[in-house]
Amino acid sequence: MDPPLNEIYNTLLYNQITNTEQNVPDTPMSFSVTAVVEEVELPVIDVSRLIDGAEKDREKCKEDIARASREWGFFQVINHGMSMDVLEKMRQEQVRVFREPFGKKSKSEKFSAGSYRWGTPSATCLRQLSWSEAFHVPMTDISDNKDLTILSSIMEKFASESEALAYLLAEVLAEKSGRKSNYFKENCVRNTCYLRMNRYPPCPKPSEVYGLMPHTDSDFLTILYQDQVGGLQLIKDDKWIAVKPNPRALIINIGDLFQAWSNGMYKSVEHRVMTNPTVERFSTAYFLCPSYDSVIECCSSDYPTYRNFSFREFRQQVQEDVKKLGFKVGLPRFLNPLY
């Protein structure tokens, strides 16, 4: 069932010990596995107020969403309109597909070639590894799938409901930053948005290996449905905090593109997943992304923090940095040289 993580990680652990004198590029300080100060519950927002509330309630809800995006970059939503039946069936089907033998998963014809991923093949040292496996599934793979299985049916429902919630939240954030709220429906298309089903197997060395290494998301926003195992951590006030799971809530986080588009008003926050020595963890995420040729332009014409760039250019730069350095640099590559 599990991918050959032990073999690969043991080899890299040995290389990490014997090659300490070699010139290995520095990684960000946040990659150091440090003690977490506390477990916290993220801001919880009842988004049903956007639909059913009086005007005062709707405005309060919008401000709550914008404030959490400014101050945390992460928040939770309840009464979000996504069916709990769909969420539970999504989890059941996800567990089932990950239970298949590694050889079958790695050559799965359920999705397009390259959808199944595990570990970090490009890693050159232990701190660049991720002890996990995932199916990275473009939305077009889901909507165009003619193989009407239980998995494909549930994924289509999950994707459609996630998409609707993402548009709703993105439009609120656009409005509160003074931008046009129709930008996302015009620019975020199904062939670049995607789902990612994650599994984090038990790890024999949880103090040395991440489930998912520290990173920010390369999208506008992410919707995460996770189990109750825990392991998600994020940076708040220059320290790592652990996110307390909430069975009623979905987690929302701001991506790099929203930070740039809002001229830094909303925060794309670094986060990571820690491993567990005895228990596996599952999650499914939806990523709201624009078309590759869409230009990300700061909302400030007077003092833009970032230069204009296309989503294609951003992705290419991230891929180059990961290949060369072993980690993503992200938005600092796109700072406006004039300010």
Give the separation between CA 286 and CA 137, rounded to whole angstroms: 10
- The 8-class DSSP code of residue 24 comes to P
Those residues with Cβ within 8 angstroms of residue 262's Cβ, 6 or more apart along the chain or in another chain:
173, 177, 179, 298, 299
Between the two ends of the chain, the Cα-to-Cα distance in Å is: 52
Q: Look at phi and psi of residue 314 and say left if phi exceeds 0, alpha if psi is from -120 to 50, else beta.
A: alpha
Residues marked active site are found at: 281
Q: Are strands 194-200 and 281-288 parallel, antiparallel or unpaired?
A: antiparallel
HSE (side-chain half, CA atoms, 13 Å) at 210 = 22
Decide if 213 contacts 272 (C-beta within 8 A): yes
Distances (CA, A) of 254 to 44, 220, 234, 269, 279: 15, 6, 12, 7, 28
Give the separation between CA 29 and CA 103, rounded to whole angstroms: 36
Decide if 242 contacts 233 (C-beta within 8 A): yes
Give the separation between CA 308 and CA 295, rounded to whole angstroms: 7
